[in-house]
Amino acid sequence: MSTPMPRAPMLATAEALATLLSAASPIAGTESIPTLDALNRVLAADVTSPLDVPPMNTSSMDGYAIRTADLTVRDYSRLPVSQRIPAGHAPEPLKPGTAARIFTGATVPPGADAIVMQEQTEAADTDVVILHSPEPGEWITAQGADIRSGSVILPAGTRLTPQALGLAASVGCAELAVRRRVKVAVFFTGDELTMPGEPLKPGAIYNSNRFTLRGLLEKLGCEVTDYGIVADKLDATRATLREAAEAHDLILTCGGVSVGEEDHVKPAVEAEGRLAMWQIAMKPGKPLAFGAVRRAARRGETAAAPDSASAETFFIGLPGNPVSSFATFLLFVRPFILSLAGVQAVAPRALSLRADFTQSKADRRNEFLRARINPAGGLDLFPNQSSAVLTSTVWGDGLIDNPPNHAISAGETVRFIPFSELLN
């Protein structure tokens, strides 16, 4: 009787993530698109401002533009109003001894060195009574106070938020150079899987992972090809892998990455390419596979190939339990895809919050516990942390990153990663 081979030690979460990210070079291919259509895209080049913002001195209040030297009596002066300056109109130089009626955002007339807000004035026929002695520069937004001409306002690798689009527009950018979208093929294995709307046969379950993972990929801005549910057969899995490898940057699967007789994804990837790792010391989500699938010799299909310089397509296989696939996607697949897209900062920001619960039993693996912030600012733990309880991901606000072999006592500070960071 042969002695079974010892299992390789599980990878720590930090080591697994480092392995993934070391392989994830930004994909080739850029395009220029209208700034209005660039939300969530990743900049391929720095955005440099061609002008100062604001491009001239502007008033930050409705009021009167004056020369401070004209106020001969402290806190009380009467000046004739020589002009009216709405926003968007070019003013005349301010005549000495006069004031200019001015509105928020309007250009400060040459010669004026302060704005007196209208609440500190009194209108008197064609004059204005100034009831405040301003300091030079008061309520004036100086030219270039926000942005200086020639400065980089958005570096390459920035994922474009609504406010980033506004910033680009503020310097006149009508188009932006962005990286192309990451192309992801996704499929699911398991003869027990049934789509909602179909009859649920004995022993079957609805395929919730398809909806969760498709949503996560689309939220990241990926170009997704969904191959649906693939039969639990080795040849069917290999055929789908070969097809998906030809036109995608990443193949993502769910289920079949364990070592059971009906788990065909692992041997299929090993037959069609390579598998670098597949056990992570985390809970939930121990079985996670990473590798690549070979592409067939190119047959002139350069338009379809995502990166003509590469001979393989990355592969990540997620576990089938719904919370496990959700957690491993957020912690591993998300930063991997963002790195492929050229994003510079992919690590989610974590908070240090108080645990308002006790978990006396420690696990040897790195636990990611579903919790939510209570009205007192502490964390409550979802009572059932099973990897099959998808309810916890909706109830919770994020994940507690609990180190291996660590029991949690009420009142201690824990590391909490909000879903708002992990879903961004």
The pLDDT assigned to 264 comes to 79
- Please report the pLDDT score of residue 4 as a whole number: 52
Q: Tell me whether residue 158 is in a domain.
A: yes
Q: Are residues 184 and 300 in the same domain?
A: yes
Structural domain ending residue among the three candidates 315, 340, 365: 340
CATH assignment at residue 119 = 2.170.190.11
Domain boundary among 93, 115, 141: 141
Higher-confidence position of 337 and 310? 337
Assess if residue 8 is contained within a domain: no
Residues 317, 402 within the same domain: no
Give mean pLDDT, residues 57-78.
88
Answer yes or no: do 326 and 192 share one domain. yes
- Lowest model confidence (mean pLDDT) among 92-101, 250-259, 343-352: 250-259
Residue 4 placed within a domain: no
Q: For residues 95-118, give the mean pLDDT.
A: 97
Candidate from 133-142, 150-159, 254-263, 292-301 with smallest mean pLDDT: 254-263
**How many CB atoms are located within 10 Å of the residue 125 CB?**
7
Q: How confident is the model at residue 260 (pLDDT cuts 50, 70, 90)?
A: low
Amino acid at 288: L
Q: What is residue 298's predicted lDDT score, i.e. its pLDDT?
A: 45
The confidence score (pLDDT) of residue 304 equals 45
CATH number at residue 157: 3.90.105.10
Residue 222 sits in the same domain as residue 196: yes
DSSP H or E run through 407? none
Residue 187 and residue 314 in one domain: yes
Whole-number Å distance between alpha carbons of 218 and 339: 16
Cα separations in angstroms, 63 against 73, 104, 119? 19, 8, 8
Looking at the structure, tell me whether residues 119 and 189 fall in a common domain.
no
Residue 279 has pLDDT above 90, yes or no: no
pLDDT band per the 50, 70, 90 thresholds, residue 308:
very low
Say if residue 42's pLDDT is above 70.
yes
Number of H helices, E strands in the chain: 9, 26
Instruction: State the residue for tokens 């190119």.
Output: 298
Looking at residues 263-287, what average pLDDT do you find?
87
Phi, psi of 39 (to 5 degrees): -60, 130
Predicted confidence (pLDDT) at residue 118 exceeds the cutoff of 50:
yes
Residue 313 CA to residue 243 CA, distance in Å, equals 11
Instruction: With H, G, I as helix, E, B as strand and everything else as coil, classify residue 243.
Output: helix
Separation between Cα atoms, residue 207 and residue 237, nearest integer Å: 18
Per-residue model confidence (pLDDT) at position 272? 95
At 230, the pLDDT band (50, 70, 90 cuts) reads: confident
Look at residue 7 and tell me if it is in a domain: no
The mean pLDDT of the chain is: 91
CA distances in angstroms from 257 to 34, 119, 167, 325, 421, listed in the order given: 42, 70, 45, 11, 27
User: What pTM, to 2 d.p., does this model score?
Assistant: 0.85
Express each pLDDT in 149-161 by its tens digit: 999 999 999 999 9
Rounded average pLDDT over 359-388: 96
Distance CA 110, CA 173 (A): 29
What kind and span of H or E run contains 278? strand 273-279
pLDDT at residue number 51: 96
Same domain, 271 and 402: no
Number of domains in the chain: 4
pLDDT, position 165: 98
Structure letter (DSSP) for residue 419: H
User: Which is higher by pLDDT, 280 or 76?
Assistant: 280
Distance CA 363, CA 339 (A): 31
Beta-carbon contacts of 68 under 8 Å, excluding residues fewer than 6 positions away, are: 113, 114, 133, 134, 135, 136
Write the CATH number for 253. Answer: 3.40.980.10
pLDDT confidence band for 384 (50 / 70 / 90): very high
Confidence band, pLDDT 50/70/90 cuts, at residue 144: very high
Beta strand 114-117 with 63-66: parallel, antiparallel or unpaired?
antiparallel
Q: How far apart are CA 29 and CA 96, in angstroms?
A: 59
3-class DSSP string for 124-191: ECCEEEECCCCCCCCCEECCCCCECCCCEEECCCCECCHHHHHHHHHCCCCEEEEECCCEEEEEEECC
Separation CA 73–CA 78 (nearest Å): 9
Q: Do both 137 and 44 map to the same domain? A: no
Tell me the two tokens of residue 421. Answer: 């960071």
pLDDT of residue 257: 62
Q: How far is CA 224 from CA 112, 228, 249, in A?
A: 58, 12, 10
pLDDT tens by residue, 15-30: 999 999 999 999 999 9
Tell whether 1 is covered by a domain. Answer: no
- Residue 5 inside a domain? The answer is no
Q: Give dist(CA 140, CA 102) in Å, integer.
A: 11
Claim to verify: residue 299 and residue 235 sit in the same structural domain: yes
Residue 8: which residues within 8 A CB-CB, separation 6 or more? 279
CB 182, CB 222: distance < 8 Å: yes
Q: Are residues 245 and 329 in the same domain?
A: yes
Residue 322, beta-bridge partner list? none
234 and 297 both lie in a single domain: yes
Residue 343 falls in which region: left (phi positive, over 0), alpha (psi -120 to 50) or beta: beta
- Provide the CATH number for the domain around residue 383: 2.40.340.10
pLDDT score for 193: 77
> What is the pLDDT confidence band of residue 351, given thresholds at 50, 70 and 90?
very high
Query: Are 380 and 415 part of one and the same domain?
Result: yes
pLDDT value of residue 303: 39
Asked whether residue 135 is assigned to any structural domain, the reply reads: yes
* 75: confidence class by pLDDT, cuts 50, 70, 90: low
The answer to whether residue 300 scores a pLDDT higher than 80 is: no
Q: Is 20 within the bounds of a domain?
A: yes
Domain that holds residue 235: 13-29+180-340
Judged against a pLDDT cut of 90, whether residue 305 lies above it is answered with no
